[in-house]
Structure 1
Amino acid sequence: MRRKRLTVACLAAGLALTGCSAASTGSGKGGSTLTYLTFETPSLTATFWDTSIAGAEKKVPDVTVKKIVAPSTDRDAYAKQLQASGQFPDLLQSITPSTFATAGLLKPYDQKWVNANFLLPMGNAYKGKVYIPPTNSQIIPEVFYDKKLFAKAHITAPPKTWPEFMAVCAKLKAAGITPVELGGGDPFSASMPLVGILSADVLGKDPNWLKERYAGKVRFTDANVKAAVTKYRTMVKNGYFEDGALGVKYADSITHFTSGKAAMYMMGSWFLGSVPKDRADDFGAFLTPTEDGSLVVPFAVGGSMAISAKTAAPAKATAFAEAWSLDPANYKALIEGDGAFPMLKGKTLDDYGVNVTKVFKDSYSYVTQQNTKVSAFGWATNDDSMPSGLNNAFYAASQALFSSNDVDGQLAKLDAAWDSATK
């Protein structure tokens, strides 16, 4: 998820080498060739994308799809560079709709089709329209914990309130156990504790806070936001993260936690795909505790692919996107490897042929139960999404606040960045 910049010249050269064109073209008599921006991770491999593309191609006659692979998981930045060079793809996987819809670059899906097929049809809608089918969801973050390390510190149950959480941290530290793992070397990973606390304390009490920030009714420097951020600073000052956490990369933080070097790990539910299968029962999960113990689920509805409004073959692009998005076979890798919670109507986990852990099922219950769900702070793709560039500013503030007591200064910077981005 680290953000990388490439020159347009390099991008063009890369596309030429792979034979990919970002414009729809003819493919034999009556056929169409579509370009499809994807990304690869240890779970979503090249084989996964090739297989899923082939499956959807079989359901849409006379369509050939050329895969473009983003150089990092920052699809938005890469899509912007492709657009700037006149190579905007016909289909774009898991981008942030608000970044492109406002420029007229995306074609919305038919609302009747969305309503008929997904549990939360408007879960990731932007300004009343769905630009990415709401195929799956995540909780960002959960607090994962090592049951054996809890037992070693004589902790018998996960905390439900913030004071209980801090008491658990203190007890773990006293037992010589690092309370919380933090991959502070990667900006998005460094932000996870703040995402959890702000979602619980700010959005939990005012779910419309982000919309109100757009309207200028609230600010980051307000007392309630400062109080939430101060909780994170207290965790740092009390030594509840490992020494040198800002130097720990995201991948290493997973290894540290799963190998027993820390008792808790605040991370998106995609971590469920990294739970060691041979000791999966050693791990549990709870949500970032609130002051009074009320349950707040920091929720993000993701999805499959957006369709370019500029594609020369809109009917074919739509047919391919719909076929891909409704194929249960594509969900298996997302569920098992990426910890995604499926959102297709009329399906149970058994319908996807998956083998998941108890901690996955326990986490999924937060999705299916009636409870207070709010947009995960900084991770929404709907009307609660932050302005372009604000996520990077938020990540930078998260890293700065690990070593700086200047809460007021960092929050003022976020307000300034927001105001600049929304002029």
Structure 2
Amino acid sequence: MTAHSPSLTPAFWDASIARAEKDSGVKVKQVVAPSTGRDGYAKQLQASGQFPDLLQSITPSQFTDGGLLKPYDQSWIDQNFLLPQGNAIKGKVYVPPTNSQIIPLVFYNKSLFVKVGAKVPTTWQQFLDVNAKLKSAGITPLELGGNDPFAAAMPLTGALSVDVLGKNPQWIQQRHAGKVKFTDADVVTAATKMRTLVEKGYFEQGALNVSYADSIKNFNAGKAAMYPMGSWYLGSIPKDQWNNIGVFPWPSDDGSVVVPFSVGGSMAIASKAKDPAGATKFAQKWSLDPKNLKALIESDGAFPMLKNKTLADYHVKVSPAFTESYTYVTKTNTKVSSMGWATNDEALPGTGNDDFYAAAQALFNSGDVKGQMAKLDKSWDTATK
């Protein structure tokens, strides 16, 4: 089962499948899911007795509890990927961790920084100072597509990922154990940072009415100096802006680099595949084909996660911002799951992701940060009863 998109076109799928068939000696039949709702479509097929042997880009946690997926051999995963356990569920890998995103990064307009004499911030206080300097100069500091919940949540995602998970990587596991809560003081303090940005007027006017698509247009047009967004924005930087758009990680209190990570992947294998060995061989060949990652790198800003390869091996043309962003993947730093985006054991349960995004939108109009965090605790408890 595949899904077509502007970057993963029918032609892309035809070519990539043909290569994997040739390399594996296995023939497959393609079933195309809607561009949205791949998980729902796979569930429809399963209910009608037509569950595919191979499924591309599904959310594995939606299917593992029912025993519908077959885990990959761990030695093969360890051998081929930079973060072997990046999307593991209860220690098992159901989707090869072929690519990743950083959610969020902060993109910035270099010319606007130069105009006000701002330097790239590394600490939270420096970040606030840069925002203040830009606002004083009549420049909108931060672009945000607040009408789309996931985009509205980027500052909250950054703050909780860096300040909470960065200091306590076991926080999600401890929340499952009932040892910590969203209403704890350290979490509320982190979440208050987003409210601070709102109260100081650092986002564009009417940010909650700006769509995600328009936020890209606004930032590319120089209407704001900074843009907190997932690394997929890298694929939307106009070529005439390649040398003008820079990037830095969401700033921590002490300047340490914490990278909020979300590891994606390729094909899941059905536990009841008609030919388990053949399905596995095809999926492995497809997952290790550098040409398949080229489209994701160039159009979707995805970071390749195959071992023993450099960007040159993928024959891509990318912006300086992509190259700089990719160093946060390859360098040694503190990598944590991106709050509200993880698909592994650190995923928020139930409707947790949507509730997290809704809390961020609510913080534009409400100063009751602890109250919004209490709603997340309630959502968690309901989902895990």
1:217 pairs, out of 156, 179, 186, with: 179
Aligned-pair RMSD on alpha carbons?
1.6
2:2 pairs, out of 13, 37, 41, with: 37
Q: In the alignment, is the contact (CA less than 8 A) between 2:53 and 2:279 conserved in 1?
A: yes
Q: Does 1:361 align with 2:361?
A: no
Q: Does 1:380 align with 2:342?
A: yes
The letter for the 1-side match of 2:10 is: A
Q: In the alignment, is the contact (CA less than 8 A) between 2:3 and 2:35 conserved in 1?
A: no
Q: Give the drift of 1:226.
A: 0.7
Aligned to 2:214: 252
Relative to structure 1, is the Cα distance of residues 134 and 62 closer, same or farther in structure 2, using a 3 angstrom cutoff?
A: closer
* Aligned pairs for 1:226-245 within 5 A: 226-245=188-207
> For 2:366 and 2:20, how far apart are their aligned partners in 1?
50
Q: Does 1:419 align with 2:384?
A: no
SS at match of 1:185: coil
The letter for the 2-side match of 1:154 is: G
> For 2:355 and 2:43, how far apart are their aligned partners in 1?
18
The letter for the 1-side match of 2:104 is: P
Q: Give the drift of 1:87.
A: 4.1
Q: Does 1:284 align with 2:246?
A: yes
> For 2:14 and 2:367, how far apart are their aligned partners in 1?
48
> For 2:314 and 2:166, how far apart are their aligned partners in 1?
32
Aligned to 1:139: 102
The higher-RCO structure (CA 8 Å, 6+ apart) is: 2
Q: Does 1:175 align with 2:122?
A: no
SS at match of 1:281: coil
Q: Give the drift of 1:84.
A: 4.3
Q: Give the drift of 1:89.
A: 2.9
> For 2:211 and 2:47, how far apart are their aligned partners in 1?
31
SS at match of 1:226: helix
Instruction: Name the % identity.
Output: 64
Q: Give the drift of 1:367.
A: 0.9
Aligned to 1:340: 302
> For 2:24 and 2:201, how far apart are their aligned partners in 1?
56
> For 2:105 and 2:44, how far apart are their aligned partners in 1?
33
Q: Give the drift of 1:62.
A: 4.8
Gaps of 5+ in 2: none
SS at match of 2:363: helix
Q: In the alignment, is the contact (CA less than 8 A) between 1:57 and 1:65 conserved in 2?
A: no
Q: In the alignment, is the contact (CA less than 8 A) between 1:387 and 1:421 conserved in 2?
A: yes
Q: Does 1:118 align with 2:103?
A: no
Relative to structure 1, is the Cα distance of residues 295 and 37 closer, same or farther in structure 2, using a 3 angstrom cutoff?
A: same
The letter for the 1-side match of 2:231 is: S
Relative to structure 1, is the Cα distance of residues 77 and 223 closer, same or farther in structure 2, using a 3 angstrom cutoff?
A: farther
Q: Give the drift of 1:244.
A: 1.4
Aligned to 2:16: 52
The letter for the 2-side match of 1:304 is: S
1:90 pairs, out of 48, 53, 63, with: 53
> For 2:367 and 2:51, how far apart are their aligned partners in 1?
43
Q: Give the drift of 1:39.
A: 4.7
> For 2:311 and 2:35, how far apart are their aligned partners in 1?
32
**Cα deviation per residue 1:273-296 (whole Å; 9 max; x = unaligned)?**
111112201011111111111111
Q: In the alignment, is the contact (CA less than 8 A) between 1:256 and 1:262 conserved in 2?
A: yes
Q: In the alignment, is the contact (CA less than 8 A) between 2:161 and 2:337 conserved in 1?
A: yes
Aligned to 1:407: 369
**Cα deviation per residue 1:306-338 (whole Å; 9 max; x = unaligned)?**
112233232222122111101111111111111
**Cα deviation per residue 1:242-278 (whole Å; 9 max; x = unaligned)?**
1111121111111111111111111111111111112
Aligned residues: 385
> For 2:336 and 2:362, how far apart are their aligned partners in 1?
26
SS at match of 2:259: strand
Aligned to 2:169: 207
SS at match of 1:64: coil
* Aligned pairs for 1:155-166 within 5 A: 155=118, 157-166=119-128
Q: Give the drift of 1:419.
A: 0.7
2:27 pairs, out of 52, 58, 63, with: 63
> For 2:61 and 2:290, how far apart are their aligned partners in 1?
27
Relative to structure 1, is the Cα distance of residues 382 and 271 closer, same or farther in structure 2, using a 3 angstrom cutoff?
A: same
Q: Does 1:295 align with 2:257?
A: yes
Relative to structure 1, is the Cα distance of residues 246 and 310 closer, same or farther in structure 2, using a 3 angstrom cutoff?
A: farther
Q: In the alignment, is the contact (CA less than 8 A) between 1:92 and 1:305 conserved in 2?
A: yes
Relative to structure 1, is the Cα distance of residues 309 and 150 closer, same or farther in structure 2, using a 3 angstrom cutoff?
A: same
Q: In the alignment, is the contact (CA less than 8 A) between 1:191 and 1:394 conserved in 2?
A: yes
